[in-house]
Amino acid sequence: MATRVGSAPKMSDSKDLLVGKTAVITGAGRGIGKAIATAFAHAGACSVFVVRERATGEKLAREVKDQGFKADFAVADVTDSAQISMLVLDITQRYPVVDVLVNNAGIFLDGDRAMRPSEIDPLVLQKTLDINLFGPVRVCNAFAPNIAKGGRIINVSSTMGQFAGAADGRGPAYSISKAALNMYTQLLAADLRERSIMVDSFHPGWVKTDMGGPQARVEPQDAARTALFLASRPLSDKTGLFWRDCEVIDW
């Protein structure tokens, strides 16, 4: 059952919610990540779009700055530890403190969509975990020392990794990766509580992206609303939670 904690900001009223903050968003080249980074910039943050292709990052940052907001970009593949190390060095030379970190980069492979849980291909599972679980682990390990007291870490998860309710057997590798990401969220929240860093995960819904497909029902900008809520809600000991539509849901 969903539980409301605080109140969600309206996107139209979000102008000053993140003024003075620096936000780093992985997988920001398109879809949900792009929408989150853009929403954060509109809320006053300097959004750093983390992408795999420099040309993509340059284009997105320029578009946001041309609208009168603050934006930057950095290049890294979350599966490459060396690139993550360089990413942190690059960003912290420009922005000594990171206030919000969003782990959005993720995959849902075609082979996984057709795969049965009783016939899991270890290679598909390994590749999925490398991006969806180990990616956030690498990024958080690298950035945690530079996240400000009172900062936020937000993991983009899915109800496909939810233990509440009955599983339907779809996308076993993706589901396993998101269930593991949810547990990592809880563990990291407990670890960083003494620094007042809030760590949460959220389900963005079935979003109209390349991953979600043409039948999806949620626009990327609507999915970004919960991320903005988590980035801007008042400091609280209610952290290490799983969210959907700005409400807490069961794991």
Q: Which domains does the chain have, with CATH numbers?
A: 3-249 (3.40.50.720)
Structure tokens at 129: 């975990």
Residues that are catalytic: 174
Structure tokens at 168: 């339907």
CA distance 209 to 212: 5
CA distance 104 to 87: 16
Comparing CA positions, the residue from 192, 183, 177, 182 lying closest to residue 244 is 182
**Contact criterion met (CB below 8 Å) for 28 and 104:** yes
* H or E element, residue 206: none
CA distance 197 to 96: 17
pLDDT per residue, tens digit, the chain (251 aa), is 455 554 555 544 567 899 999 999 999 999 999 999 999 999 999 999 999 999 999 999 999 999 999 999 999 999 999 999 999 999 999 998 999 999 999 999 999 999 999 999 999 999 999 999 999 999 999 999 999 999 999 999 999 999 998 788 999 999 999 999 999 999 999 999 999 999 999 999 878 777 777 776 789 899 999 999 999 999 999 999 999 999 999 99
What is the greatest pairwise CA distance in the chain?
52
| pTM confidence score | 0.93
Task: Give residue 45's region: left, alpha or beta (phi > 0; psi -120 to 50).
Answer: beta
